[in-house]
Structure 1
Amino acid sequence: EGAEIATIEGLGAPGALHAVQEAWVEHQVAQCGYCQSGQIMQAAALLEMIPSPSDEDIDAVMAGNLCRCGTYPRIRAAIHEAAAALNDA
């Protein structure tokens, strides 16, 4: 009770994507879309905890989210791009 729940629909601002969502589009991460909501939400949570994550940080935090399409290099690149965008904001 009293806890907040974040969903993919509430991640960005009205009419604007979150930096993670923008990076996902830029790096063409989504292939089938099956895991994307979980991947994006986990990436956003990672960047709240670690604003400039290393590859090792990304791999450790994202390890629980499996991607059937195997776009892990794109996911990592998108997270680095989103981190840079958020740190510049």
Structure 2
Amino acid sequence: MTEFLEPTARDQLPGAPTIIEQGASVLAAVGRTSIPDATDVLRAAAARTGIKVAHVAQLLVDWERTGRLSRDLRTAIRHSLPSFPLAP
């Protein structure tokens, strides 16, 4: 049923806001931008890749720890945030 909710409503599911805030923080730090702008980039990357916002955020948090992030997601993020690195 959640696939029919608007992205902002879907993000209100338990645990989602925290991970989205964490993912936006990773983007803000790496991309040298504000948290609100990083959140917009996160949502745009989710829309471009067809991945849920909370999952994109989790992938970014994992990337911070592991150094691994798919090229497709990097490209989607870089589309909205040119300062985001294409390579690890």
TM-score range, shorter chain: 0.3 to 0.5
Choose between structure 1 and 2: higher helix proportion. Answer: 2
Of structures 1 and 2, the larger Rg is shown by 1
For normalisation by structure 2, the TM-score amounts to: 0.39
For normalisation by structure 1, the TM-score amounts to: 0.39
